[in-house]
Amino acid sequence: MAKVVVFDHPLIKHKLTFIRDKNTGSKEFRELVTEVSMLMGYEVTRDFPLEEIEIETPVTTMKSQVISGKKVGLIPILRAGLGMVDGMLNLLPAARVGHVGLYRDPETLKPVEYYCKLPQDIEERELIVLDPMLATGGSATAAIDFLKEKGATSIKLVCLIAAPEGVDAVKDAHPDVDIYVAALDEKLNDHAYIVPGLGDAGDRLFGTK
Ligand code: PRP
Ligand code: URA
């Protein structure tokens, strides 16, 4: 069974407060989302394997550790997932970035796919799916279904804010996928928005409302 990690770091809690605040404008919102994504990346990569290499310090030679093993693919779910890419790339500059375009139909609340461009070797990569909001879980579940159909073997999901309904939906559909959330909120409202949440992540990132 995969794990669900809810962050309790003071820096993440502090920054999330201002991300949630409706008076935070798009510029600051984007900066904060980047910062929180980077902080989350620290924990998301905790199980990355290490190997020893030999190096020379100015004083002597030594064996020291570097990350080995799988290559990484970052998969933002468009649009709002884009806001988390830079923070993760700051930590993982060699990662490839694949894009999955999904929007949630406002009537049916079901995800509709409209774009996909992935690295060719996704089956060899440790994929990190990025989306600030995990509400009903429909979008994340569909994106992960899709990545598995394309051959993905190792997937983690990283979200800023989740509703319990979304976490349960992804856990049920994809018990092999670890889920990392900066905050687990109370519930969904009648429009399937997360309460208290932060509103519409895409609109707040890109200033479209
Ligand atoms: C938002 C969000 C998730 C989805 C979450 O995207 O970024 O992708 O809703 O809802 P769900 O868990 O119920 O599927 P939205 O559909 O608003 O598209 P956008 O990113 O283009 O704004
Ligand atoms: N999508 C968002 O952007 N916000 C929510 O609260 C739910 C879905």
pLDDT tens per residue, range 129-183? 999 999 999 999 999 999 999 999 999 999 999 999 999 999 999 999 999 999 9
C-alpha neighbours within 13 Å on the C-beta side of residue 133: 28
Return the closest-CA partner of residue 182 out of 140, 132, 144: 132
Catalytic: 61? Answer: no
CA of 133 to the centre of ligand 2 (A): 6
For the chain, list the domains and their CATH numbers: 4-48+69-206 (3.40.50.2020)
Q: Is 114:142 a contact under the CB 8 Å cutoff?
A: no
Residue 121 Cα distances to 34, 72, 117, angstroms: 26, 10, 12
The pLDDT confidence band at residue 104, using thresholds 50, 70 and 90, is confident
φ, ψ of residue 154 in degrees (nearest 5): -140, 115
Q: Which residue's CA lies nearest to atom 7 of ligand 2? A: 193
Catalytic one among 104, 141, 178, 204?
A: 104
CA of 187 to the centre of ligand 2 (A): 12
For residues 14-36, give the mean pLDDT.
98
With a 6 Å cutoff on the Cβ, whether 113 touches ligand 2 is: no
79 in a known ligand binding site: yes
168 in a known ligand binding site: no
With a 6 Å cutoff on the Cβ, whether 102 touches ligand 2 is: no
With a 6 Å cutoff on the Cβ, whether 135 touches ligand 1 is: yes
Return the closest-CA partner of residue 139 out of 75, 85, 182: 75
Q: Is the pLDDT of residue 69 over 80?
A: no
Residue 56 Cα distances to 59, 61, 62, angstroms: 7, 4, 6
